[in-house]
Amino acid sequence: MADWILLNGKKREWVKSLRNTVQSNRTTAEQYEPRTYAGDIYSNALDLAQSAEKLYNEAKFSEAEELFGKAAKSFEQAKNSAFNSKLKFLTGEAEKAEQSAKWNELKSWAEKIRPMNNSLADQFKT
């Protein structure tokens, strides 16, 4: 029994660290508006994290471990997808503003791009 308690405690601590990774990945993904730019991937990640959390609270650590691992990867994918989609959208809007000589609008779009890609934003300097 003592061995089982020790083993279960170690598993719990490992899953707890994986749980923290999921939260960190989620926070990072949310910087790029994943609901807007990576909706399906982000929704899937939220569902996985919620299911894993439920298992964790029920002390089903092996099952929770698997879902937390999948959730962490899904949040990473959501971040990457949202980043790329948002950058593509912002760049497109800046190009439209540039083509129509809307310089104030172009400057605004360029500043929205800057935190994501400084050199790309510099291309739209007015």
pLDDT in tens, 17-37: 999 999 999 999 999 999 999
pTM: predicted TM-score of the whole model, two decimal places: 0.84
By the 8 A CB rule, do 37 and 81 touch? yes
Any idea which of 8-17, 49-58, 77-86, 106-115 has the lowest mean pLDDT? 8-17
By the 8 A CB rule, do 100 and 47 touch? no
Distances in Å between the Cα of 23 and the Cα atoms of 4, 17, 32, 65, 111 are 28, 10, 15, 14, 29
Indicate whether 113 pLDDT > 60.
Answer: yes
Q: What is the pLDDT of residues 94-104, one digit of tens each?
A: 999 999 999 99
Indicate whether 6 pLDDT > 90.
Answer: no
Any idea which of 11-15, 46-50, 83-87, 109-113 has the lowest mean pLDDT? 11-15
**Cα(20)–Cα(27) distance, integer angstroms:** 11
Give residues with Cβ within 8 angstroms of 16, minimum separation 6.
56
Indicate whether 7 pLDDT > 70.
Answer: no
User: What mean pLDDT, rounded, does the chain reach?
Assistant: 91
Indicate whether 49 pLDDT > 60.
Answer: yes
Residue 18: name the closest of 55, 39, 38, 2 by CA: 55
